[in-house]
Amino acid sequence: MRALLLHDLGVADYGHVLELQERLVEMRQRGDVSDLVLLVEHPHVFTIGRGGNERHLLDQGDIPLFRVTRGGDITYHGPGQMVAYPIIDLRSHLRKAVHRYLRELEESTIATLSDFGMSARRMPPWTGLWIENRKIASIGIRVRKGVTFHGLALNVSTDLAYFERIVPCGLSWAEMTSMEKELGRRVPFSDVKERWARAFAERLGYSELKPLCQEGIPIGLKSDSRVAPTTSG
């Protein structure tokens, strides 16, 4: 019986969570921790994936910018957005291929949106998930020595105006949307997190979700919420 460890960080600074992911990836590679997923809501931040174009940042203002090692171009994280960072060992016999992992990540989110009466779809060759031609979820991952990190951002009640300060994912034609905009009503954030975590665990064949804190894993974050305007990771 395999359990997926889960830790809800609440609202946490992007830079500190990036450092936490790095530590957990190393621990997972050594076998010091089981497969796990972090759920978090970030304060305002822009991130650019490897190979992304900084010209797609149109108006940074005072919002921090991180160049990171995930795939994809520029995106925005902020209040009202559910971000999931799975730290999964793909060397397991259940998850040998990166493309299968990405498909399950997508399917988990499609199932979650379906629970709220929404029909999301893929739109190859572009990543992420779409409601008709409006993008509701962005995906960008990295795999290091068989272990995943970075992940998924789902717009629940996100202030979509912040996406106007970038060229989202490098797609000038892309319109961003959110669950609340599509449904025209408030969506309980905690319900989205719970349904997504359960859907993800089921899709990847885990028997249960288990709080990470019960494992005694050191996951404390720094209390200072400020980060440098531009950095990399």
- Look at residues 103, 173, 177 and name the one whose alpha carbon lies nearest to residue 141: 103
What's the CA gap between 133 and 200, in Å, rounded? Answer: 24
Catalytic positions, written as ranges: 169
**163 phi/psi in degrees, rounded to 5:** -70, -20
What's the CA gap between 165 and 129, in Å, rounded? Answer: 21
Q: Is 4 exposed, middle or buried (0-12, 13-18, 19+ CB in 10 A)?
A: buried
Taking CA atoms, 219 is separated from 11, 17, 191, 212, 222, in Å, by: 14, 10, 24, 9, 10
How far is residue 127 CA from its own chain's centroid? Answer: 13
Supply the DSSP symbol for 75: E
- The neighbouring-strand residues paired with 138 are 153
Torsion region of 146: left, alpha or beta (phi above 0 gives left; psi -120 to 50 gives alpha)? left
Q: Are 124 and 48 in contact (CB under 8 A)?
A: no
